[in-house]
Every structure is written in structure tokens, then in C-alpha cells.
Structure 1
């Protein structure tokens, strides 16, 4: 499967293929995620397996730098998949995931169904 733009509740989402290029540097994120998102996506959903382990080690600064690029380009980044192997290493990543999920620019979700639920409009009332 290739990267594909789909609409979830009217929002164009670039769903990235798990077999795509690894994201090990900020330039990788720009080339393989941000650049591709300009096909018309507002949200970029990237499987956890696409990210180098350094992304999940906050001491490297990679996650922060990649997330900042998405904010700079007014795109939303969604990391999709099981984070449990990475969350075992300490509380810093767990805290960052919790904070990110409270915001609107970067989310960590277990699957695409959870992303669709997050993109659903708020019930009127």
C-alpha cells in the first residue's frame, strides 16, 4: 500500500504506509511526510514503525524537532500504533504523549479508528 489521502469527517488525512521510508532525522520528516502532505492533507497519520527508535527517546530531541516542523507548516501529526515498548523506558515519553493528546497539533493514537473518532465533530448542544 502506498501513502494515500483519505477524508475522515471531512478532514483530509495522509495515511502513511508502514513500509515507507524510515524517519530518523528532521530532514526525513520534511522529505517523506511534510512534503508528501502537500498533496492536500491537513493531518499526517504515521505508523510508529516508520519512526527510528530515537524519535521515542526524548533525549535525542528528534520528536520535539519533528513536531515543531509540523506546527510550523500548520499540519497535524498523528503517530499511529502501539507505543507500549517505548513507554516502558520511563515517564518522560508518557508525559509528552499525554500532553500532546490534550492539544490539537500532535496526537498519539492506537489505530486509525481512534484517529477517526478524534476527528469527529463535537456533538452540538
Structure 2
């Protein structure tokens, strides 16, 4: 796993590059959060969709809710970059839509869009 930080003023976003699934369960998500906060000193993370278990996108597993609740509790903002058109679940599409309207969690198609959202999220 490689981490580089994109700085805009005092706002830093950790861009995580990895060929592995980094979030398979809640503990993995917490380990990632702690590692990035400790090593990079930032509380905004940008991940690729491929770094997140497919179980995350099956809302019936509750993994997404549990992981995102932990991130909100620790005041960590997260953007997951990828193409979400392949999912047919209306509840997942609604979840993504509502998340993108907020300021904590974003599901966006490009790194540029994710960086913009995270940097302006405060």
C-alpha cells in the first residue's frame, strides 16, 4: 500500500494506492484509518472501489453501515472512487445518492471529483 497526501492549504487528503482489498471488515477499516491518521496526520481518505470488499456494496451485510459509522465517529471523511453503474440495487443507489449529498462519505467516479469533495468538506 502506498499513500500520498494531496494538500490544498491546510486540508490534506490521503490518496491510497493498493492492489489489495483493504476493507474487508470493520477491523480492517479501523486499521486503515489508524494507520493513515498516525503516519500521515490527515483525516480524509480517498480509496479505489477495488480496495473495498464487494460485501460492502451489499447493504444486507451491514458492512457499509458499520464501517461508515466508525468513520463518522472518528471524524474521518472518506471518498471511494469507482464506477457504480453495475449495481442494480435501488437501496444501494439511494444510499450512494444520499451519501454524496452530505459531507462525510462520497462515492464518486474520479479522483479529481473525490479530491474536490473531500477538500471542500471541511
* TM score, norm. by length of structure 1: 0.85
Once the two structures are TM-superposed, the CA of residue 42 in structure 1 deviates from its matched residue by 2.3
Q: Deviations along 1:53-79, whole A, 9 cap, x unmatched?
A: 100000000000110111011110111
Deviates more, 1:106-115 or 1:36-45: 36-45
User: What SS is found at the alignment partner of 2:13?
Assistant: strand
Q: Deviations along 1:23-63, whole A, 9 cap, x unmatched?
A: 110001111x2112212112111100011110000000000
Q: Aligned ranges for residues 51-70 of structure 1 at < 5 Å?
A: 51-70=52-71
Deviates more, 1:34-43 or 1:2-11: 2-11
**2: CA distance, partners of 1:25 / 1:58:** 13
Unaligned runs of 5+ in 1: none
* TM score, norm. by length of structure 2: 0.87
Give the 3 Å change call, closer, same or farther, for CA 82–30 of structure 1 in structure 2.
same
Q: Aligned ranges for residues 103-114 of structure 1 at < 5 Å?
A: 103-114=102-113
Deviates more, 1:73-82 or 1:36-45: 36-45
**2: CA distance, partners of 1:52 / 1:8:** 30
**1: CA distance, partners of 2:9 / 2:96:** 24
Please identify the structure whose Cα radius of gyration is greater: 1
Q: Deviations along 1:3-24, whole A, 9 cap, x unmatched?
A: 2222146420011113144311
| Root mean square deviation of aligned Cα | 2.0
Unaligned runs of 5+ in 2: none
